[in-house]
Structure 1
């Protein structure tokens, strides 16, 4: 009986440790505080709360993307989000000193965990930037991670049958955009390179769908906006590794 009790307590301890190590996400924000002359810059992103490499890998990749979006420094490369925000402010100040009539810049970056399961974590980053010109620019980026290691996944890691997935995706894209199978993919004004369908730069996941997100200018004009194709996971899981 004592032996059974000891085994039971050990199992409870192991399960408790496992639960304590479970990856969780909290939202964190970066924005200028108590600064009347600062530009409107807001960054809200999920942060993985984990002491192991999984959380570190995820947080590093998310931070690097945010820095890349904000970065206007040609010589000095920001190492943190706070530095990137400061450099964004400084770049505008330099422009304003030279061209006083320049309109104010702005930047908003919002992130969320769009899918989290035992083998895959997907984070969606929506951004909007205005740095002068006729209009601002909004974009969506997806970061996909192996949930067991925190490794940032490439598109090639997602598919076990990329060719088969592309064939299905093109068929559904044509159906969505009313392009017949016999017509050139660019016949209705799209700008696919070499007149051939290709997957977007950003592929992400929700609980029920895989999302193919073509940002503005990627395959169509700014006026057309982003093009988004969502395919049910149940229909495409045979093509996927995750």
Structure 2
């Protein structure tokens, strides 16, 4: 049985009253190479978001970074990094980026890794999301054309959650559109060696 990995919360040094950055660090993994790989990916992604949101901007008024654990079991770690910044104007900007790892090897999964090679996973996911958009009467900026091949996602228990950034498909007022899809609904196309199969085995 794969137990949850240990996570410590670190705070970026030299934080100020307007900058608070908290991020996760994996500790005590037996495979130290995997641990280093995972932590490096987390810090690298966090730094990219901080730069994008004006961490070094002289006009920065507030920046807050935090994280959420979505799955930490069965050898899979899936988490969200959440960064909000405000540099003036009507409202601030938030970016959410998700990372999903195999905790034994340190492998980071891309969306394509979750599905069988040759499976038209983009169309299947896009069709499901398109129907949800209609069912939920979600307001779009333009007609939905489908997901990107590298669309943002995370794994939460027995669901794959596909989501979109602010302004990616909807007006700001809609926030982040999240689309949870039961893994069982994707059973015919999931990669038998991937994380979704590992999660589905326990449904």
Distance across 2 between alignment mates of 1:162 and 1:225: 33
Instruction: Specify which structure has the bigger relative contact order, considering alpha-carbon pairs within 8 angstroms and separated by 6 or more residues.
Output: 2
CA separation of 1:43 and 1:50: change in aligned 2, threshold 3 A: same
User: TM-score w.r.t. structure 2 length?
Assistant: 0.76
Distance across 2 between alignment mates of 1:161 and 1:229: 23
Which residue number in structure 2 is paired with residue 30 of structure 1? 12
Structure 2 unaligned residues grouped into runs of 5+? 196-203
Cα offset, 1:170, TM superposition: 2.7
Cα offset, 1:239, TM superposition: 2.4
Which residue number in structure 2 is paired with residue 203 of structure 1? 153
Which residue number in structure 2 is paired with residue 70 of structure 1? 50
Distance across 1 between alignment mates of 2:183 and 2:8: 27
Cα offset, 1:70, TM superposition: 1.5
Structure 1 unaligned residues grouped into runs of 5+? 1-17, 73-86, 96-103, 180-187
- More strand, by proportion: 2
Bigger-Rg structure (1/2): 1
- More helix, by proportion: 1
SS where residue 184 of structure 2 aligns?
Answer: helix
Alignment of 1:180-195 (within 5 A): 189-191=140-142
Distance across 2 between alignment mates of 1:189 and 1:29: 37
Which residue number in structure 1 is paired with residue 39 of structure 2? 59
- The 8 Å contact of residues 5 and 26 in structure 2, kept in 1 or not, is answered as yes
Aligned residues: 186
User: TM-score w.r.t. structure 1 length?
Assistant: 0.65
Residue range with higher mean Cα deviation, 208-217 or 120-129? 120-129
SS where residue 97 of structure 2 aligns?
Answer: strand
Which residue number in structure 1 is paired with residue 71 of structure 2? 115
Cα offset, 1:64, TM superposition: 0.8
Which residue number in structure 1 is paired with residue 172 of structure 2? 222
Work out whether 1:136 is the aligned partner of 2:92: yes
Alignment of 1:39-188 (within 5 A): 39-50=17-28, 52-71=32-51, 88=55, 91-92=57-58, 95=59, 105-160=61-116, 163-178=119-134
- The 8 Å contact of residues 11 and 22 in structure 2, kept in 1 or not, is answered as yes
